[in-house]
Chain A
Amino acid sequence: GAVVSQHPSRVICKSGTSVKIECRSLDFQATTMFWYRQFPKQSLMLMATSNEGSKATYEQGVEKDKFLINHASLTLSTLTVTSAHPEDSSFYICSARRPSTDTQYFGPGTRLTVL
């Protein structure tokens, strides 16, 4: 299957700081990437759809000014959690759609802990 990487895998930060998470599709070009959030023992909640070269589409209830998404190239999307607070602590997972197979592949996730 296709490979999607995420960095960092874990991050601990102080309240009020910003954290950037990178998502890369390593062996294919992805015009569309997705960012999900997963709470403990719950399903994945779609936060936003990231399209290369254009603005991200955010789901209802997701603050676009707090969760900044940039999809600068066909292999890289970044999620920046700005002015993080403890309630932003969660498991963030990115996904990239491989056009040739029309399948979404997922990164290993980033565990964010805000103190």
Chain B
Amino acid sequence: AQSVAQPEDQVNVAEGNPLTVKCTYSVSGNPYLFWYVQYPNRGLQFLLKYITGDNLVKGSYGFEAEFNKSQTSFHLKKPSALVSDSALYFCAVRDGGNTPLVFGKGTRLSVIA
């Protein structure tokens, strides 16, 4: 069965600094990896995904993530954080096929002005 680990409950970063939100995964087949963002009392917004191709994936709002097969990681990054990036971030994985997404527990990002 697939699983996702987000080791940090909370990440704090100063505005303008680079940010990283960590994610590692476990699947038996080929991973389909996703990042979503959730604002308070809202659903999830899709940020980016990796299915195949380049290991560095660029997504919405200046975010990017790098797929690292050897480390089974898919960390979310942004070169310069904005206060408006403060939200709850979820990493998710599918084990290919038609399986549903499995989510990590989420990481709360706080960007301080």
Q: Of B17-25, B74-82, B94-102, which stretch is located at the interface? A: B94-102
- List A contacts of B102 (CB < 8 A): 46
A104 B43 Cβ-Cβ under 8 A: no
Describe A's contact surface by its main secondary structure: strand
Smallest CB-CB separation from B6: which chain A residue? A43
CA of A103 to CA of B46 in the docked complex: distance in angstroms? 8
A67 at the interface (CB under 8 A from B): no
Q: Give the A interface residue count (CB, 8 A).
A: 22
- List B contacts of A108 (CB < 8 A): 42-43
B51 at the interface (CB under 8 A from A): yes
B41 A102 Cβ-Cβ under 8 A: no
Q: Can you list 29 contacts pairing A with B, beta carbon distance less than 8 Å?
A: A1-B60, A6-B43, A32-B98, A34-B100, A34-B101, A42-B105, A43-B103, A43-B105, A44-B90, A44-B103, A46-B100, A46-B101, A46-B102, A93-B44, A95-B44, A95-B101, A102-B32, A102-B51, A103-B34, A103-B46, A103-B49, A104-B46, A104-B100, A105-B46, A106-B36, A106-B46, A108-B42, A109-B42, A109-B43
- List B contacts of A103 (CB < 8 A): 34, 46, 49
A111 at the interface (CB under 8 A from B): yes
A49 at the interface (CB under 8 A from B): yes
B44 A106 Cβ-Cβ under 8 A: yes
CA of A4 to CA of B34 in the docked complex: distance in angstroms? 18
CA of A44 to CA of B34 in the docked complex: distance in angstroms? 14
